[in-house]
């Protein structure tokens, strides 16, 4: 490894060298193997050097590394997803994939590569992606005659074949999805999960005979995305429609779930469900013969969520002790830690830990015990807090005597003694409670950031206070451009996040905060990731 | 689509233009919408133009396309996996992934890209892959200062981090796996599933304190690969060890499951489980402190199976009517087809089809009905035979009257009438029987190709007869090279497939068929994919 980090960061031509977070402190193993003399120190020393409230960016980089979700990779903007984060991805997939299969969407796999000719077919679309496209130009020592692009998304990869497969109305709807990696060679501020050059996602691509069917599916998928955020990741989101300026390049309209990071005062697009209209169908000639024997054009959607979900969850729930994982996505929901004292029945305590884990596993709870003999209980507490395990169970001599365990919540730190007889029921209740509490707390914080404004002065003030701003807007593209220009600063300009589906009342005569023209709708505004 | 196929094939500089199979015949929809005048023709016209026994290569290309597994893509050597094949991949994954999780192997995801410095660290290894590596040299309009490779496999991507993560004996074993795509820009004869420039696979990478643990895991994984082939794909394989010449570049030894394609007389490596020894550990400095406080080096394995599995299955079971899918991997195990006659109770027949499907679904059997009204039953039979569905159920007026269904096996064509009361039990039996029969027939055919030889003349004769040759061998690398040189022909040279674990007796004094030196073992030889 020696030297590779530096080498490659320098090799990235146009890339800003990426901030490498400090190496996580290696756990300091205690002396072991000394038999009787085994000494258990109450060392901790696992803490984060940055605080969430003071140094958010550094805190985030540190917590994803120390929590063992991410390892920084020697190519800037690429990250290693370690098992601790991969398991979360898999749990979300285990929810989403069966849900879309119920909707008769089928999985497939299209190639990673796309030829220039095809990529450039839809002009608006390629303009949106062109600067970020990675190009393969060589194989082995030979130059390819024509460079081949790596997919930044697969509309242009797939739709020539939709054109081939769709002939008659009976071929519709065509509903495909793929789980894959995509590459967007961005240079601005790479951040693990949130903005990386390669990421994992699912991308759904569907074609319908009617706009109504397409519209319906857009919202069905968006609801699944809301459930991923709110039910799994315990992150509150706003469902809404993107502005013309912020919609998907080449599409008709874009809906999204928008999350908010109170610490930075930034909105973040959580996942998007696009209605592409007939624009791609026109470019790729996706026509069919309808029931009347006439030539017609399909209506298309595309929709995706990515590993960004995990980053949003970390940003929302993490604290100065480390990650905080919602029970529904934690690969370890309960960590059981033996707390032996000098003269205690050590074997009895270890046996009780094993029995507890087995009881929980049988009940479908993801539990593990940490029986390592070279770390103190205190050190273990810190490590599992860093990794964000929702519930810790401690078993010491007193617990053994009282036929109970001590449960400690990661979210609140609350300690609860539970009798062995009630264990499974109580632990289940606690996990449900933690899941709900994480959502409630996050929603409370998010809601406290929402500020309704009516004037430009109020807008600027709220922006400086890192608010998620709800403002009456005339819905004109030029006005959004103007707001962007007027708020341009070091930390990025303000823009629309979305126009929420859940619209407050808009009294007659309300004017746009930015243009003074009659307001057409309420929109969320703010800086964003 | 117009023109893109031709464009891109020509664009591939060094690539031989790939043979594009003939377009599958589009089903010819019947006149519909004519209400009463709906006429049901007994047209078929879905057949394959090539025969498996006469024109194997063309038959294969045609059957994967007409069976809707593959669509040829406009970049040579890349293929679209359609839902019909993707479902098979997912079913195998649903078996393999939980099995390795039981072995405490965890999933992760490492980047697609690898820097040149790291890629070249293990010389033998990179020599094996260098000519096939695809290089990214540009992003958008800018040149990267240093080209970045796309992983052909991930040893060199991962092991710098193994070096970082592994410090003490308690960090071992480290057992990771990833499901991903890899790219090998090969120019020789691309074939869907079998040899493609991008393919899907899992790759496991594990590190142990002792060689014994590594050796044990190599065989545990190989047994899972055998089960995928034999229990899921119904394809008989030989477990064995690769020769020094054929082992994984940079590894210590390679084990594999080897399948055989009787029609071409070629062996095909089904999946490999490598013991890497300590070679990569040395290059990447993967050291740890052992129990005694001494510095030690890990022992490593890597193992993979890919979408090639699907191609082997197609080659082994397919016939002149199309694909033949083993029930365990078929996404549709039973297709139910209504067979209404002119004056029959059409509604009753359709209702019986729906009821049958529901009954089967409830019993966990993957069933579907084909109620399309614009195709004749005969045309539907042909289409589902092309797609390889294991069992067809026909329901006509007579069946309705007799409270029965007619089941038709894809493998044997046998027709069986089953009373409604016994339906679930009998269908389950039939599916098990088909699964077993496919394996038995394939094994019988494969075994009939195995020929034991002792002399060079026998070897050459057997090779010409497309046999899978079992021969006594001196196990010397130079001799294998010599055999390769002496058998070099248009269709490739002969090489070792593997030395089977199940060794016949080797009587004292047996000599090598090629060198005349004392034989050390029996090995399988042949041409291969």
Q: What is the ipTM of this complex?
A: 0.92
Residue A202's pLDDT band, with cuts at 50, 70 and 90, is very high
Nearest CA in chain B to A91: B107
Count other C-beta atoms under 10 Å from residue A140's C-beta: 15
d(CA B205, CA B223): 17
Taking a C-beta distance cutoff of 8 angstroms, is the pair B468, B450 a contact? Answer: yes
d(CA A70, CA B252): 31
Sign of the Cα pseudo-torsion (A306, A308, A311, A317, in order): negative
d(CA A259, CA B14): 48
Give residue B234's pLDDT. 98
d(CA B390, CA A353): 49
d(CA A86, CA A68): 11
**Fold type of domain A103-316:** BirA Bifunctional Protein; domain 2 (3.30.930)
Q: Do A1 and B160 touch (CB under 8 A)?
A: yes
Within chain A, which residue ranges are assigned CATH 3.40.50.800? 327-445
Nearest CA in chain B to A73: B111
Taking a C-beta distance cutoff of 8 angstroms, is the pair A508, A481 a contact? Answer: no
Q: Do A132 and B139 touch (CB under 8 A)?
A: yes
- Give the number of beta-carbon pairs within 8 Å between A and B: 211
Q: Do A1 and B285 touch (CB under 8 A)?
A: yes
pLDDT digits (tens, 9 = 90+) for B113-146: 999 989 988 888 888 888 899 999 999 999 998 9
Nearest CA in chain B to A199: B111
The two tokens of residue A381 are: 């507490």
Q: Do B138 and A134 touch (CB under 8 A)?
A: yes
Of B86, B90, B161, the CB nearest to A80: B161
Structural element, H or E, at residue A155: helix A155-165
Count other C-beta atoms under 10 Å from residue A255's C-beta: 25
Residue B71: its chain A contacts at CB < 8 A? Answer: 161, 164-165
Give residue B312's pLDDT. 98
Q: Do B82 and A139 touch (CB under 8 A)?
A: no
Count other C-beta atoms under 10 Å from residue B464's C-beta: 10
Give residue B45's pLDDT. 54
Q: Do B112 and A139 touch (CB under 8 A)?
A: no
Sign of the Cα pseudo-torsion (B230, B233, B235, B238, in order): negative
Give residue A45's pLDDT. 53
Residue B489's pLDDT band, with cuts at 50, 70 and 90, is confident
What distance lies between CA A492 and its chain's CA centroid? 21
pLDDT digits (tens, 9 = 90+) for B391-427: 999 999 999 999 999 999 999 999 999 999 999 999 9
Question: Shortest Cα distance from A77 to chain B (angstroms)?
Answer: 10
pLDDT digits (tens, 9 = 90+) for A355-390: 999 999 999 999 999 999 889 999 999 999 999 999
pLDDT digits (tens, 9 = 90+) for A436-483: 999 999 999 999 999 999 999 999 999 999 999 999 999 999 999 999
Which residues have a Cβ under 8 Å from the Cβ of A101 and sit 6 or more positions away?
none
Of B29, B115, B138, the CB nearest to A168: B29
DSSP state of A232: I
Q: Which of A84, A67, A68, A86 is nearest to A332 (CA)?
A: A84
Q: How far is CA A136 from CA A26, A122, A159, A189, B386, in A?
A: 39, 21, 22, 24, 37
Count other C-beta atoms under 10 Å from residue A212's C-beta: 10
Count other C-beta atoms under 10 Å from residue B478's C-beta: 10
Of B12, B80, B143, the CB nearest to A110: B80
Within chain B, which residue ranges are assigned CATH 3.30.110.30? 453-528
Is a pLDDT exceeding 70 seen at residue A34?
A: no
Q: Do A374 and B170 touch (CB under 8 A)?
A: yes
Taking a C-beta distance cutoff of 8 angstroms, is the pair A280, A286 a contact? Answer: yes
d(CA B98, CA B106): 10
- Mean pLDDT (chain B) is 91
Give residue A341's pLDDT. 84
Nearest CA in chain B to A126: B140
Q: Class for domain B327-445, per CATH?
A: alpha beta
Q: Do A139 and B133 touch (CB under 8 A)?
A: yes
Which residues have a Cβ under 8 Å from the Cβ of A72 and sit 6 or more positions away?
A5, A18, A20, A21, A65, A79, A80, A192
Give residue A225's pLDDT. 99
d(CA B450, CA B322): 26
How far does chain B reach from its first CA to its final CA, in angstroms? 32
Residue A306: helix, strand or coil by DSSP?
strand
Give residue B9's pLDDT. 34
Question: Shortest Cα distance from B81 to chain A (angstroms)?
Answer: 5
Per 3-state DSSP, what percentage of chain A is helix, strand, and coil (rounded to 5)?
Answer: 35, 25, 35
pLDDT digits (tens, 9 = 90+) for B220-249: 999 999 999 999 999 999 999 999 999 999
- Mean pLDDT (chain A) is 91
Is a pLDDT exceeding 90 seen at residue B468?
A: yes
d(CA A292, CA B200): 42
Question: Shortest Cα distance from A468 to chain B (angstroms)?
Answer: 33
Q: Do B168 and A29 touch (CB under 8 A)?
A: yes
Q: Which of B521, B479, B467 is nearest to B498 (CA)?
A: B521
Question: Shortest Cα distance from A375 to chain B (angstroms)?
Answer: 12
Q: Do A139 and B163 touch (CB under 8 A)?
A: no
Count other C-beta atoms under 10 Å from residue A220's C-beta: 15
d(CA A304, CA A302): 7
The predicted model gives B188-200 an average pLDDT of 95
Q: ∠ CA(A249), CA(A251), CA(A254), 5° rounding?
A: 95
Question: Shortest Cα distance from A282 to chain B (angstroms)?
Answer: 12
The two tokens of residue A169 are: 């109305």
d(CA B139, CA A130): 9
Q: How far is CA B423 from CA B314, B337, B406, in A?
A: 29, 15, 10
Backbone angles phi, psi at B30, to 5 degrees: -80, 165
Considering only A41-50, B370-379, B392-401, which range has the smallest mean pLDDT?
A: A41-50
> Any idea how long chain A is?
529
* B249, B250, B256, B262: CA torsion to nearest 10: 10
Alpha helices in A166-307 (DSSP H): 211-227, 279-283
Residue A489's pLDDT band, with cuts at 50, 70 and 90, is confident
Give residue A36's pLDDT. 40
Is A139 exposed, middle or buried, given 0-12, 13-18 or 19+ CB atoms closer than 10 A? buried
Question: Shortest Cα distance from A371 to chain B (angstroms)?
Answer: 12
Give the per-residue SS3 of B476-518.
Answer: CHHHHHHHHHHCCCCCCCCEEEEEECCCCCCCCCCECCCCCCE
The two tokens of residue A149 are: 């692009």
Nearest CA in chain B to A90: B107
The answer to whether the bond into A173 is cis (omega within 30° of 0) is: yes
Q: Does domain A453-528 have CATH number 3.30.110.30?
A: yes
The two tokens of residue A300 are: 């298309």
pLDDT digits (tens, 9 = 90+) for A265-277: 999 999 999 999 9
B412-428 burial, b if ≥16 CB within 10 A, otherwise e? eeeeeebebeebbebbb
Alpha helices in A28-111 (DSSP H): 56-66, 83-102
Q: Do A8 and B115 touch (CB under 8 A)?
A: yes
Within chain A, which residue ranges are assigned CATH 3.30.930.10? 103-316
């Amino acid at each position: 490894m020696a030297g590779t980090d530096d080498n490659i960061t320098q090799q990235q031509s146009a890339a800003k060298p990426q901030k490498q977070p400090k190496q996580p402190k290696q756990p300091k193993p205690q002396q072991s193997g000394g038999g009787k003399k085994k000494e258990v120190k109450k060392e901790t020393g696992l803490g984060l050097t940055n605080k969430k409230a003071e140094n958010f960016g550094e805190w985030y980089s540190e917590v994803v590394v120390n929590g063992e979700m991410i390892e920084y990779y020697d190519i800037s903007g690429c990250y290693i997803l370690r098992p601790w984060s991969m398991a979360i991805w898999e749990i979300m997939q285990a929810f989403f994939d069966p849900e879309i299969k119920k909707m008769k969407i089928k999985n497939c796999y299209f190639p990673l590569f796309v030829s220039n000719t095809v990529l450039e077919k839809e002009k608006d679309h390629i303009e949106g992606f062109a600067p970020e496209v990675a190009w393969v130009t060589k194989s082995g020592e030979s130059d390819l005659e024509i460079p081949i692009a790596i997919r930044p998304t697969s509309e242009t990869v797939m739709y020539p074949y939709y054109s081939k497969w769709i002939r008659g109305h009976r071929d519709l709807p065509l509903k495909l999805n793929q789980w894959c990696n995509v590459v967007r060679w961005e240079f601005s501020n790479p951040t693990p999960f949130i903005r990386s050059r390669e990421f994992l996602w699912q991308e759904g691509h569907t074609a319908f005979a009617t706009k109504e069917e397409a519209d319906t599916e857009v919202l069905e998928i968006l609801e699944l995305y809301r459930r991923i955020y709110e039910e799994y990741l315990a992150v509150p989101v706003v469902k809404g429609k993107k502005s013309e300026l912020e919609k998907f390049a080449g599409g008709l309209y874009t809906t999204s779930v928008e999350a908010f990071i109170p610490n930075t005062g930034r909105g973040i697009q959580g996942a998007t469900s696009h209605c592409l209209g007939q624009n791609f169908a026109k470019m790729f000639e996706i026509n069919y013969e309808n029931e009347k024997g006439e030539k017609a054009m399909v209506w298309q959607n595309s929709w995706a969520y990515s590993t960004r979900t995990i980053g949003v969850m970390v940003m929302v729930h993490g604290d100065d002790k480390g990650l905080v994982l919602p029970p529904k996505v934690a690969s370890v929901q309960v960590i059981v830690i033996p707390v032996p004292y000098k003269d205690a029945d050590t074997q009895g305590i270890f046996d009780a830990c094993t029995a507890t884990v087995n009881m929980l596993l049988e009940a479908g709870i993801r539990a593990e015990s940490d029986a390592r003999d070279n770390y103190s209980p205190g050190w273990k507490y810190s490590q599992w807090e860093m990794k964000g395990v929702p519930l810790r169970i401690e078993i010491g001599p007193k617990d053994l005597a009282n036929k109970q365990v001590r449960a400690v919540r990661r979210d609140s730190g609350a300690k609860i003694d539970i009798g062995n007889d009630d264990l499974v029921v109580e632990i289940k209740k606690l996990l449900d409670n933690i899941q709900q509490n994480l959502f409630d707390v996050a929603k409370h914080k998010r809601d406290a950031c929402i500020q309704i404004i009516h004037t430009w002065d109020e807008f600027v003030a709220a922006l400086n206070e890192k608010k998620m701003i709800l403002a009456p807007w005339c819905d004109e593209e030029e006005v959004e451009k103007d707001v962007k220009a007027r708020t341009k600063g070091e930390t990025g300009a303000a823009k629309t996040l979305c126009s929420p589906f859940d619209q407050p009342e808009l009294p007659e005569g309300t004017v746009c905060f930015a243009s003074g023209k009659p307001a057409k709708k309420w929109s969320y505004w703010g800086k964003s990731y």
